[in-house]
Amino acid sequence: MTSNHAKSPNPEQRAAHLIKTRNLKMARDAHAYVRGSTVKFYEWLEAGGGKLPAGPSIWICGDCHLGNLGPLADAKGRVDVQIRDLDQAVIGNPAHDLVRLALSLACAARGSDLPGIATARILEELTGGYEQALTAEFNSRREGGHKPKLIQAILKRAVRRRWRHLAEERIENVKPSIPLGKQFWALTKEERNGLNGAFEGENVRELITSLKGRHGRDKIDVVDAAYWMKGCSSLGRLRYAVLVGVGDGKLTQENLCLVDIKESVPAAAPCAADAKMPRDNAERVIAGARALSPNLGERMIATRLFGKSVVLRELMPQDLKIEIDELSPEEGKAIARYLAGIVGRAHAHQLDVRTRRTWAAELARNRSKKLGAPSWLWLSVVELIAAHEAAYLDHCRRFALDEAA
């Protein structure tokens, strides 16, 4: 492992830096606040009086917003749009994923200055896409159906990406090192030793060598590593970026990989009363990923590091998030239907035909003649937008104003 000497906060100072960064990221715009306030989302949802239908107890994402959906490569390099982040995954009510995604889309519509009627149509398409996925006849886990132009473009970009794109994007460097700075911080001797030890485990070697183009007997070596200040809702947890060389010989772009290690903590999403889930949080995340996002689930393992439960996964160049700068009304409807279908398929694969139809029928209740989305979904989104707007402005007053001054 290489050694860098750029100034970085020591472990005792990290928490303050992470909290400050998280608060400022959440103050960027209302949608960023929504993405970073999962705990508050469920607090507000519970305070709303329990208007949601009781769906079947299945694995749900628990944090199903726009940024947590996107292209993911499987171990053989095939790419599908699936759920990208399963930190909040629990066995719970699938209606929670629908409301979370609907809120995210509604915030994107507001950020694009779309009128209220456009938001109503977006929620109608979301409902239609989800119900269609529940009632469709399918045997394959791979997605099908029409893809909106924005999704086609991001998939096209994803399949063309190679290691250098990932390296330039994640570590801003194609050389076999992780440059320290604002995003990557120096490790202590204890951390370096702990990470080296973790990568000596046979389970880690098997995971890394199982991916496309590698041999099961290839050896792996830690080339460099750093503490990673990344994400928004995950800021404050243990997080490391590890650059690994695979096989013998000179280090090249073809035999380097970037591994993300993230601490798993208890989920904010409520689980079903009868849920039987792994007690270890990292094992819970893995189980949720395998049920909802097989491309991701087969590329992850749970382990322990410094006495904490962590998930280890290799980042692939094809992994991208769906980012929307501005929506038109038609794009909003197309994307809502498509993404709701992705979530619906992830849910439906866990249900037998009869339960899928029963759940679809339950969702079809409480429709008005003027609005295709069920009233519980519409009312939940309206109330949540109002609550988030007020909380976001207060968040900016408390955190962003001091920084701007």
10-41 pLDDT, tens digit per residue, is 777 887 888 888 888 888 887 788 878 888 88
**Confidence check: pLDDT of 49 > 70:** no
> What residues make up the domain containing 396?
11-404
Note the pLDDT tens digit of each residue in 138-148.
Answer: 555 555 557 99
Token pair 């994640």 is found at 170
Structure tokens at 196: 């080296």
Judge whether 281 lies within some domain.
yes
Distances (CA, A) of 93 to 100, 126, 286, 294: 12, 17, 19, 20
Residue pLDDT, tens place only, 151-190: 999 999 999 999 888 888 888 777 788 989 888 999 999 9
- Of the pLDDT bands very low, low, confident and very high (cuts 50, 70, 90), residue 271 is very high
Percentage above 70 pLDDT, the chain? 91
For the whole model, what pTM was predicted?
0.89
Q: Report CA 389 to chain centroid distance, whole Å.
A: 23
Return the pLDDT at 5: 47
How far, in whole angstroms, is CA 324 from its chain's centroid? 15
Residue 314 lies in a domain: yes
Per residue in 277-328, pLDDT tens? Answer: 999 999 999 999 999 999 999 999 999 999 999 999 999 999 999 888 888 9
- φ, ψ of residue 315 in degrees (nearest 5): -85, 135
The pLDDT assigned to 4 comes to 46
On whether residue 197 sits in a domain, the answer given is: yes
Q: What tens digit of pLDDT does each residue of 100-134 get?
A: 999 999 999 988 999 999 999 999 999 999 999 99
Inside any domain, residue 1: no
Q: Residue 209: inside a domain, yes or no?
A: yes
Instruction: Give the number of domains in the chain.
Output: 1
Residue 5 within a domain:
no
- Give DSSP secondary structure letters for 321-346: ----S---HHHHHHHHHHHHHHHHHH
Paired tokens of 109: 């519509």
Q: Is the pLDDT of residue 6 over 90?
A: no
pLDDT (0 to 100) of residue 15: 77
Ranges 73-77, 203-207, 248-252: which has the least confidence: 248-252
